[in-house]
Amino acid sequence: MLHLQMRPLPRLAPHTTAAALSSSLHRRLSLSASAYASSSSSTSACAAPFSTEEYLVATCGLSQAQALKASKKLLNLKSASNPDAVLALLAGVGLSRPDIAAVVAADPLLLRSRVDNIAPRLAALRDRLGLTAPEIASFLLVGAVALRSCDITPKLEFWIPFFGSFAKLLQTAKRNRSILTSDLEKVAKPNIALLEECGLTVCDIVKLSTPCSRLLVFNPERVKAFVLRAEKLGVPRSSYIFKYAVGVACSISEDKVAARMEFLRVALGCSMDQVRAAVRNKPHILGVSEEKLRRKIDFMVAEVGLDPEYIVKRPMLFTYSLEKRMKPRHYVAKVLQAKGLMKKSVGFRRLVGYGENSFVATYIDSNKDAVPGLADAYAANRAGKMMSDVISGS
């Protein structure tokens, strides 16, 4: 099998025009790829019948299991000619053999790509966008399909500064790869413009794309519908909370929103008006599953002793982790109160509202001499392990 020994392509002068850059790199990469293809053709004439699975193992570096899986997508591959040319292009932009193996395993169909299509696109990743070889490898693990299906460069030139960095774009693309192929002018930009008209900043929109990664690539009419649904939750567009309402509308259906609000009404024994007020204050709570809401309500009522009306007026409580914050901090409060080191008047909302470092400094570090082992007990509780010896004093 053919071994890759392609020399890195030289950097072009900074003043080289974009057109000259594309043409020059395209020509050199294509010529190199053609040389690999020619070499493969000349050697294959007297070789045994082509085996895709063997090629994937011996030349691409895949494991036997990976090769078996990948070969099912390459059933019509009859020779090493085009695959060799593609591998040459990947080596030409600096990918190592392990990188190439990972990329091919992620998208075997890349080996069947037209060389004259992907050659300038690969070159542009390095020389126009300035991506390093590891960054190109990372991108191809997610975006190889986009590379072979469209001119990816203009899209990356738009999205990288929008998200603030290549790494942040990659995080979003891993959740929603269509962001790399969606139409910028007809889909992405109109959606962004609409959200900005609603008062959202670019930073807000980027944050929204984390829980709702498809928001930017939905049909613009659908995004308009999300905005209207967010307004129906009672959150005005002028409110800084509106972005959270849009996130809820994007990620949860209207039926689920209605069901979750009804669940809160019944579980807390309050009026729907009180639930609506809670949602206007913290739309995030509609993103919490009914099971998690139930467990939090049960804990706050049965263990902490809170009145349901107290809870519904403080919807932020539903946004805190039950296992990592509520239970461990309530445990610490019981220990300190039992030893007379903390007033019982300290509210649960205040207790769980502290940032982690502030809570530890205020309630654990300041009492480490009076209550030996408290820090370990708190850490154990956060890890899901109960320790009661600190309370009992044994």
Give me the average pLDDT of each 10-residue run along the chain (394 residues).
38 39 46 46 56 94 95 92 96 95 96 95 95 97 95 96 95 93 96 94 90 89 95 91 92 94 96 96 94 96 94 95 95 93 88 95 93 93 71 46
Q: How far apart are CA 104 and CA 59, in angstroms?
A: 11
pLDDT for 387:
56
Name the DSSP letter for residue 80: S
Q: How far apart are CA 270 and CA 251, in angstroms?
A: 26
pLDDT for 18:
38
pLDDT for 39:
46
Max Cα distance, the chain (Å): 89
* pTM, rounded to two decimals: 0.75
Q: Tokens 């220990």 correspond to what residue? A: 335
Residue 342: enclosing H or E segment and its boundaries? none
Torsion sign across C-alpha atoms 90, 93, 99, 105? negative
pLDDT for 119:
96
Q: How far apart are CA 174 and CA 230, in angstroms?
A: 27
pLDDT for 33:
46
pLDDT for 90:
96
At 200, phi and psi to the nearest 5? Answer: -80, 140
Burial class (CB in 10 A: 0-12, 13-18, 19+), 120: buried
